[in-house]
Structures are given as structure tokens and as C-alpha cells.
Amino acid sequence: MTAESIPPTSPTPAPSLDTAAGDAAAAAPAPTHGRRNQRRFRILWAAMVGVILGGLSLSAVSEFGKARSDADRAVADGALILKQHMLHHFEGADVILRHSAAEVATLGWEALNLDRTRLDLQALAEGSSWVHGLWLLDAAGERRIATAPADAAVRDALAVLARRAVDAPDGLLIGDPVAGAFGSGSLFLIGRPIRSADGAYLGVATLGIPGADLADVFSHSVLGRNGAIGLIRADGVVLARYPAVSGMVGRSIVDSTVFAEIRRGAESGTLRVDSVSDGRQRVVSFARVGNLPLAVTAAYSTSDVRAAAAAAMTLQWAFGGLVLLVLFGLYPMTMRRLRFEEAAAHDLAERELLFRSILNNVGVGITLVARDGTIRFANTGFDRLLHYPPGGLTGANIEDLTHPDDRLGTMYRVSRMEALGPSGIAYEKRYLRRDGQDVEALVTLSLKPRMGDQEPLLVGVIQDLTEQKAREKAIAFQNSLLRIQQEATPDGLLVVDAGGRVRSCNARFRELWRVPERLVEDGEAEALLAHVASHVVPGAATAGDEPGWTRLRLTDGRIVDALEGDLRDSAGALLGRVWFHRNVSARLAAEEALRESESRYRALVEQSPEAIVVHADDRVLFINRAALTLFGFGPADVPDGLAVTDLVAPSVREQVGEATRATAEVPWNGIQEDLQRRDGSLFDAWIISAPIRLHDRPAAQAVIRPLDVGDGVRGRLMQTAKMATLGQMAAGVAHELSQPLNILSMGLEGLRLRLAGGSVPPQETAEKLEMATRQCSRMAEIIDHIRVFSRSSKGRLSAFDAAGPLTAAVDMMRPVFARESVALEIDVPPRAGVVEGSPVEFEQVVINLLRNALDALLERRADGDVEPGWQATARLRVVPEPQAPQLLIEVSDNGPGVPRHLLQDIFEPFFTTKREGVGTGLGLSICMNAITKMGGTLRVENRGGAVFSIRLPLADNAVAEAAGAPVVGLSGGGTGAPMPGVPTGHVLLVEDEPLARQALAVYLIEHGFRVSTASDASEASAKARLDPPDAVIADLNLPGGDDGATLIRRLRERDPRLPALVVTGAVIADGDPVTRVATAVLLKPVDARRVVQALGEALAERRRAESAPI
């Protein structure tokens, strides 16, 4: 087989992009096909080699079999020929020996003419070429007649044969061979016994047969180069062999396998041809010589057989070898070719895979479109561009994917592409994404020409321009904005690129330096900068106010600050330079005027009789002489870093600190606080604060006016406003008190009549008394509320839940609204949120706002400017703001609202929109100050009526958790439950009202107390000296010289730990001295059970203190 007969291999072609979408991830099959071709070639090559080798082997077997058959025939023929030859020789020899024996037996040795007989025998022997010599031996073994000389070996052999002939039967005797090779003196002897007529042994007649006779029988070519013939005696002795082998003649082969085979053959008288192992592979034929104990052998060597077979196969092997040589020569060449094709196919597959991967992962879309607009192939980039899954665009029509406004132009270009040729065109168009959105793209269209029977296709490369267009629009917008900013900046701006060309020069720059238009149009930076330098006074440059700026003085007297710097990219390469020029002439003049004004202002403030303090971040920045004198400082005694809180009483420092931080943005119209002098003494003052700017930083200016204790203007104004509010609510309060009094009166009168008419069941009596107790408690709550609201407050801050004051304000105002038939809608949760401030002032703020809403609604109803079905309504609600840490409270109405031009002035003191004689004009001003003090804001707007919005910051978590109900500092009457198991002891009860004194004493005695009573302070002091009490209960207002508070002080001089309860019906203000003296203050009317509870708590606390270790 030649190389041309092997079919060429080629890689399996990948799917064409013209007809398939092409999966970029698909593995190419070409390498597998190449390896399959190699396997096929190896199998075919091996089969051909096997066939040739098999044919040669079969030929070798056939030739060897033929050679073996020829060898078998040769040895068989050789054995037969040798057998006939030996039989002829032995028959002739037997005739001679019989003749010789007959003469001796007839004549006897004595009568036998030896000479004549020898001559006859010699003539007879010489007539037979195969007879070497003739010897007649007598019975004694002596040679009587010899036709040939005999050497020692022959004589010994003759002697042996003579001895054997004595007892041998009549017939031929085969003697031992004589050592030597045939043809060179080797021979073997045969003999016949000579016996007389009576059978007496007379001797033996012997003949010597030379081995050379065998050479005449068989030629060398018949049995091959290594063939042999031989004569073997029945006892296994080799008589003759040709060709001669040294030591072989005379050797016995009795013990060999060959002898056994020869013997069987000799005995059977048949011819045998077999392979016999005689040390060499031979083909041997055996034949018995007549009835003689002899066998002839003919052997053909297997090496000669193989040689003959090889000689016969030489041509075949030569041809087969030539074919194999050709095959072995073609194998590497063909394998190299197949491997090259495999590598080429693999490389082609990898290139195709790489091409597909690049095609699908390239940053642009690629598509193949038929002339009718059908998409034959679209890569994943195009799929992603239009939001389709991979392969989703294959088979679609390009017209359906094109924006309707661009379809006509697209189809026109597609129709003209065949005329344009492969050069192609590029144009911009819009596609429609799968979700309907527009995609702007740059399309490069070229023609893929027709190849064979393939249709021509249009190759489109689509680059997404959507982001680029957006960036261009953004850049254009930024450039436009930059140009606007450059023109709007107060500085003159000049930008020069690295080549010395002017890139930007705004109008301010041209105006500042009076730049001619021709310099701007030329764009030469050198000429423009020379023009600028011509306006600058040489040598007058100084450092500007800001780092890096240089101050220039111009020839016309103007002052210009200049800044220049390099423009570099991110790699540090120089892009150009930029100059900023700022005309500071007007600013410097204004600063000079400002300094003069500030100097005059400082002098004015210094000479002001009002104490003025300027502060920021809790630090005093300026304090005038009046303030130094007020706080007790000398001109040189003010310490550095004096804090604002150092000038405030310790008890209110935290609240004032928070308020001062708030004044940086919101002004105070006035707040009354305790301040502290340098020597530690306190004084009450009225503070007005407003935000200012000092040295271009936020600050606050406070004006401080000292006040006498309890005589502050703001306090008096607020108290006046409270009293005015109470006066306006008097009718409502009277109604609220008349209801429980009426119920109490009718209930007690009914009980009295029942008692007068007969017995009353105990259960009914208990129910009537319980009803009377509840009505008394209700009146006590109303009176407590009025008392708390009406007392004077300095605005001390505390933490409280805003729901308490809101609910209290509603409770006070609800009767007023009801009397005027005005609806009051409330949306206040039980827990509105914890704030910090004064609950009393916060309640007054809400009452004022509700009162204003009521007045506005009554005014609108009186004017008659209402729609049909209009209902006067005020609302109070807490608006949730989950995202902000603040509380929003709205008080609104559907009245006429606040005139828009008065919204800014409504919170000013003594400003009012009410008719003359109604209101003081202080309500909203007081509300604003109170809310500001709490850190909140108060705003007003019109939304279908006036809406007042209060925003208060919520307290932090720790303060909120500690806060409970509104903190008032006093205990009302209430209906507190008695404490079971309270401690008891000796109680001194001081009360000027006999009935009240008697009732309370009886109640205390019933609860296990020992009670002493007194009507005034002197009587109480005397009884205390005689019988020291464990606790004292005293009315605040006692007849005589001393009140209850003074009495308690005197009693505590003897017993400092004496618990003291004060019971009073007076209004107790925040910080009243009695609150610091009394253990607890109970406000009349008071529940006796609450007295027992408070008394028990005070006694228990004293006993714990007394039992504690010192």
C-alpha cells in the first residue's frame, strides 16, 4: 500500500456564520476527527503488515513442508537404495563366504591347497570392488588363507569374529568395525562359520567390506549438506557412516532413542521415516538388510530442510521485505501528515473558537443580515445591546428592531449596499430595545460578497452610542454651565493651554483689564499678558489676604488680587496655566468703613448703661463695662475663656447652656433667670438675646437687666396674662364647680331627709357618703389645677410628658368652648413624648393658642362672613414625625386666619389683631419666648384658617425614662389610697379652723396615731416643749405672728429630723421657701387618706435615717 492509497483527512468544517448563529462556547470536532484518522491509518498499516507477514509465514510453512516432504522422500529413497545395495553386497559376500567355507569343509585344512585357494579367493575378491580382503581362519583362530594384509586392528577384529563363530548358528556374522573412516582404511568384517559335514567347527571365513562403498551409493546432493547414511548392527554398533565423523564408527548407540527406533524398524522389517532426536533435528529413514541383523539409515538434517525452504522462499521474502520496507517508510511520513492535519484542524478549531469568543465578547454588536432584512447571525453583544437573550435576534427582521423614524433610511441603505460594494458605509441610527426604549448606535455596514451558492450578506458592526450621547450632552451641559460660571464668577478668569493659546477669557477679565477684542480674537497669550502687565504699577506687588494670592496696584489706582497656577492631568503632564484676577478695591474700602463702624459700635457698646455680653459656643467673646460692674469684675479681672454658664446660677446652668446654644439661630424676646456675680451672690435678671456675626462667625448678643426678686417685668407680664386668662375662663370654672356642689348638696339633703324619716340601710349611707367624697375630690382637682396654673413661675426647666399639660389645658378650656358653642377637636395620645421645659408655661402657651383660636372663631361668626353649614371648630392635635426626634403640636381653627402682611409681626410684644379693648398683645410674645426657652420653635401659617405649629425637641432616652407625669413639685388633694401598715406615732396638728382640726384629728386617731392639736404657732410651740412630737402637720396661714413655715423652723431647732407636712389652700409658686422647709406640701382641699399616706412615708424615712449606722 502506498501513501497515495490512503484517503486524505481533513477537519470537520465548523458551522458557517452565514447560516448559523454560532455558539461561541461550542467545542470544534476537528481534533477528534484527526485522531480518528490516525487510528484508522494505524489499524490499516498494522493489518497490511500482518497480512504480508502472515503470507510470508504461510509461505515459509508451505515451503518448509514441501522441503520436509522432499526430505522425507529423499531419506526414504536413500534408505531403500542403500538397503538394495547392501543386500546385493551381502548376497555376493555370502556367495564368496559359502564358497570358501564349502571348500574348507570339503577338503579340510590339510588337503586344502592354500596357495591355490588363496589365489582363487584373491581373484574372487579382486573381482568384487567392494571386498577389501578375504581371510580364512581355522578353529584355533589362525589365519590359513589371507588375500590382503591385516594390521593389528584387523587381526583383533578377526579374532573376535572367530570366537563368535564357534557358537554361532549357521549364517552370516557381522563383526566389529575397524576404526577409521570409510575410504581411508575403515572397514567392517562379515563372516560365516566353517563346519564339517557332521557339524564340527572348522573355522570361519571372513570378508572385509570397506566403508567407501557407501559413498558410491548416495550422492551429496540427495541428502543435503548435513545428510548422512549409515550401517548399524543389530546390537547398536555403528559399522559404517558417510560422511565420516571422527569417533562415530564402532560407537554403540544402544542407549539412544535412535537405536530403539532403528531396532524396531529392523525387527519389523519395514521402512520408517520419522524425526528422531539424535542431538540434532533430523529426518531419518530406517530399513533392515534382508534377514541380516543389520539396518541401513538415511538422515536428512532439518537445517538442510530449512535451508532448502529458505532458498525456495528467498524471492518471496525479498519481495515481502521490500513491501514491508516501503510500509515502514510510509508510516512515519503518513503519521506526520495526519498529525499535521490534526494540528491544523485543532488550530483551525481553536482559531474558530477564539474568533467566535471574540465575536461574541467584543464590545460592539455584529450581525449578518440578508437582503430581505432577516438577521442570519447576531453576536451576544448585539443581543445584550437590545436586551435579548443569546440567539434571540436570529431570524428577526432588522426593520422591526429599527426606530420607526429611521426605518426608511435603513432600508434604503440596505438596498444600495450591493451597488456600493465591500467598501461599506457608516451612519448613526436608533434601535428599539426589547422594553421599547431607544438605543442610539453607530452602524458600519459592509457587503459580504456571494461565495458559491451562498447568498450575499450584509455585515453590520453596531457600536452603542447611548452612553456616549448622554456623556456628550452632559459634557455640553457642563461646558455651558462652566461658561456660565466663568461669566458669573466675580473674578476675572484667563485659561491658556500649553501651546500659549488662550482657551478661556471671561467678560470680567476683559472688563477688569480693558482687553481689546482683537487680542481676544487673536488668542495669543503672550500679547494678552503683556497688555495686562502694562496696567500694573511695577514693584508694587505684595502678598494678598489669602495664601498664594498676590496683591497688585494698577496705574489707575485700583487694587487687584491675582492667583496663577498650572493645569496638569492625572499623570502630572502640563496642560496649561490659569489666572484669577479679583478687583478688591471696593472690598478694601468697605472693610475700612466696617472697621470704622465697628470701632464706633464698640465705643457705643462700651459706654452703654445696659449690661451687654457677646458670646459663642458658651464662651464670652466681649463684655462691656456695665456688664463688668454688674458681675463684679474689674477691667483686668476677666479670666481668659470665661464661660457663659459661669455667670449663671448653678441650679439653672444646664438649662441656660442649652438655651444660649439655641440663640445662635433664634432670638430671645426675653427670659428671666438667676445670674451669679463673681463673689457668688445671685441676682434675678431679664435677658434679651439675638444672633449676630462677630469676625465673620456666628455669635449671640445678650442684654442683661437686673430685677428685684419677684418684680420682674416679664414675670409680671406673664402673671398678668395668666390672670387675664383666668378672668376670661371664670364663668366656665364657676360652672365646673357648681356641678359637683349641686350633686353634693342634693345628695346630702336627700340623706338628711331619709335619716329624719327613719332608719337608713348602712349600704345606702355608705354609697351616699362615697358619692360625696367623689364630688369633693372632683372640686379639689379643679381648684388644684387653677392654683397650679395661676401661681407665678420663673420658668425652671424639668422633664415631663407633653400629654399632661396638653390635657390640662384642654380640661380648662373645654367649658369655655362649650359655653360659646364652638367645637373643640382633640387628638392627643396618652403618651405624647417627653420634653424639657416648664410644664406650667407650656400649659399657658397651649391655653393662649386655644383662647386665640376661640376669639378668631367668635369674631368670624359675629361678622357673619360664613358659608352655609359652617361650624366653628378648633383643633388640637399631636402630629407624628417618626423620622425626626421632635414633637409637632398643631393648634388650628377654621376662622378668618392671619392677614398675610401681619404674619411676620404677630409675635412682637403688644401687637394684636383683635379689636380695641380685647387682649393685651402679650400672649403670642409670651408663647414665643416660652417655646424658645424650651429649645423649640413656634410658627404660624394659613391653611383654611390659622395654624400654629409648635416643634419641641424630644428628650434623650435617659431623661425620657426618668420622666413621668408633669413635674409640679406640690401634692394636691387627690384621692390617694391609704398605705396599709404605715408607721404611727405622736403627731402635732396645728390648724386654726376648728372643724377641720377636729375632723383630721379624729381620722388620725382612728389610724393609730396619738394626736396633739393647736390653733396657732405659740400654742403649738408650748405643747411641743412639753410633749415633743414625732411629726408635725401645720397650716401655712396661722393667726398671730408666725406662719406654719416659721413654726416648723423653730421646732426643727430642737429636732432637726422632725417630719413636717404643710397643708394650705394658697397658691405656691415654683421655688417658694415653704417647699424647702416642708417635707411635703398638701394643697386644700386634701383627702385625709393622702395625709395618712404622706405622714407614714415621712415617719418611715426618719426611722430609716435614725437606724442607719453613723
Distance CA 657, CA 651 (A): 12
Distance CA 599, CA 592 (A): 11
Q: Which residue has the higher pLDDT, 92 or 975?
A: 92
Cis amide bond preceding 650, omega within 30: no
**In the chain, which residues fall in CATH 3.30.565.10?**
720-962
Q: What is the pLDDT of residue 662?
A: 63
Residue 135 to residues 97, 158, 789, Cα–Cα distance (Å):
10, 8, 188
Cell of 211: 566403508
**In the chain, which residues fall in CATH 3.30.450.20?**
62-308, 362-470, 489-589, 608-706
Q: Which residue has the higher pLDDT, 89 or 797?
A: 89
Distance CA 842, CA 952 (A): 11
Q: What is the pLDDT of residue 216?
A: 58
Residue with cell 447571525: 377
Q: Which residue has the higher pLDDT, 789 or 1091?
A: 1091
Q: What is the pLDDT of residue 917?
A: 45
pLDDT(639) > 90: no
Tell the burial category of 77 from Cβ atoms under 10 Å away from its Cβ (0-12, 13-18, 19+): middle
Residues paired with residue 1081 on neighbouring β-strands, in sequence order: 1062
Long-range contacts of 1069-1077 (CB under 8 A, 24+ apart): 1069/791, 1069/792, 1069/793, 1070/791, 1070/792, 1070/793, 1070/794, 1070/796, 1070/838, 1070/840, 1070/969, 1071/794, 1071/796, 1073/1045, 1074/1036, 1074/1044, 1074/1045, 1075/969, 1075/970, 1077/1045, 1077/1048, 1077/1049
Contact 346, 34 (CB under 8 A): yes
| Listed range (318-327, 712-721, 823-832) with the worst mean pLDDT | 712-721
SS3 content of the chain, % helix, strand, coil (to 5): 45, 25, 30
Q: Give the H/E segment covering residue 1006.
A: helix 994-1006
Question: pLDDT-derived band of residue 19, with 50, 70 and 90 as boundaries?
Answer: very low
Question: pLDDT-derived band of residue 1109, with 50, 70 and 90 as boundaries?
Answer: low
Question: pLDDT-derived band of residue 594, with 50, 70 and 90 as boundaries?
Answer: confident
pLDDT(1016) > 50: yes
Question: pLDDT-derived band of residue 743, with 50, 70 and 90 as boundaries?
Answer: low
Question: pLDDT-derived band of residue 418, with 50, 70 and 90 as boundaries?
Answer: low
Nearest to 94 by CA among 49, 128, 140: 128
β pairing state of 365-369 and 294-301: unpaired
Tell me the one-letter amino acid at 739.
Q
CATH of domain 489-589: 3.30.450.20
Phi, psi (deg, nearest 5) at residue 661: -65, -30
Distance CA 769, CA 835 (A): 41
| Listed range (96-105, 227-236, 266-275, 614-623) with the worst mean pLDDT | 266-275
Q: What whole-number percentage of the chain has pLDDT above 70?
A: 75
pLDDT(4) > 50: no
Q: What is the pLDDT of residue 752?
A: 67
Q: What is the pLDDT of residue 21?
A: 37
Task: Give residue 337's Cα distance to chain centre.
Answer: 51
**Residue 870 DSSP class:** -
- Residues 390-410 have pLDDT tens digits of 888 888 988 888 999 988 887
| Listed range (120-134, 210-224, 338-352, 586-600) with the worst mean pLDDT | 210-224
Question: pLDDT-derived band of residue 873, with 50, 70 and 90 as boundaries?
Answer: very high
Contact 440, 467 (CB under 8 A): no
Distance CA 939, CA 26 (A): 73
Distance CA 199, CA 220 (A): 47
Q: At what angle do helices 762-790 and 730-757 cross, to 10 degrees?
A: 160
Contact 490, 584 (CB under 8 A): no
Contact 986, 1029 (CB under 8 A): yes
Looking at CATH, the fold of the domain delimited by 362-470 is given as: Beta-Lactamase (3.30.450)
Q: What is the pLDDT of residue 947?
A: 92
Q: Give the H/E segment covering residue 895.
A: none
Q: What is the pLDDT of residue 800?
A: 87
Q: What is the pLDDT of residue 3?
A: 36
Question: pLDDT-derived band of residue 180, with 50, 70 and 90 as boundaries?
Answer: low
Q: What is the pLDDT of residue 747?
A: 64
Average pLDDT over residues 789-798: 53
pLDDT(805) > 60: yes
* CATH class for the region spanning 720-962: alpha beta
- Residues 493-511 have pLDDT tens digits of 889 998 889 888 888 888 8
Q: What is the pLDDT of residue 118?
A: 66
* CATH class for the region spanning 608-706: alpha beta
Residue with cell 437573550: 389
β pairing state of 502-505 and 492-497: antiparallel
Phi, psi (deg, nearest 5) at residue 272: -120, 135
- Residues 147-162 have pLDDT tens digits of 878 788 888 888 888 8
Over the range 583-599, which residues count as b (16 or more CB within 10 Å of their CB) and which as e?
bbeeeeeeeeeeeeeee
Q: What is the pLDDT of residue 232?
A: 80
Q: What is the pLDDT of residue 184?
A: 46
Average pLDDT over residues 170-176: 82
List the beta strands (DSSP E) in 584-667.
Answer: 611-616, 619-623
Contact 207, 188 (CB under 8 A): no
- pLDDT averaged over every residue in the chain: 77
Q: What is the pLDDT of residue 23?
A: 44
Cell of 419: 451597488
Residue with cell 384642654: 810
Q: What whole-number percentage of the chain has pLDDT above 90?
A: 5
Counting every residue written for the chain, the total comes to 1110
Average pLDDT over residues 687-709: 79
CATH of domain 62-308: 3.30.450.20
- Mean pLDDT: which of 540-554, 713-727, 1053-1067 is highest? 540-554
Average pLDDT over residues 790-811: 73
Q: What is the pLDDT of residue 837?
A: 83
Distance CA 540, CA 181 (A): 149
Q: What is the pLDDT of residue 719?
A: 53
Q: What is the dihedral of CA 212, 218, 219, 225, to 10 degrees?
A: -90
Q: What is this structure's pTM?
A: 0.32
Q: What is the pLDDT of residue 266?
A: 52
- Residues 331-376 have pLDDT tens digits of 888 888 888 888 888 888 788 777 777 777 777 888 888 878 889 8
CATH pick for 986-1107 out of 3.40.50.360, 3.30.2320.50, 3.40.630.10, 3.40.50.2300: 3.40.50.2300
pLDDT(804) > 80: yes
Contact 714, 928 (CB under 8 A): no
Average pLDDT over residues 1020-1044: 86
Q: What is the pLDDT of residue 129?
A: 64
Average pLDDT over residues 553-571: 89
**In the chain, which residues fall in CATH 3.40.50.2300?**
986-1107
Q: What is the pLDDT of residue 431?
A: 92
Q: Which residue has the higher pLDDT, 964 or 974?
A: 964
Q: What is the pLDDT of residue 795?
A: 45
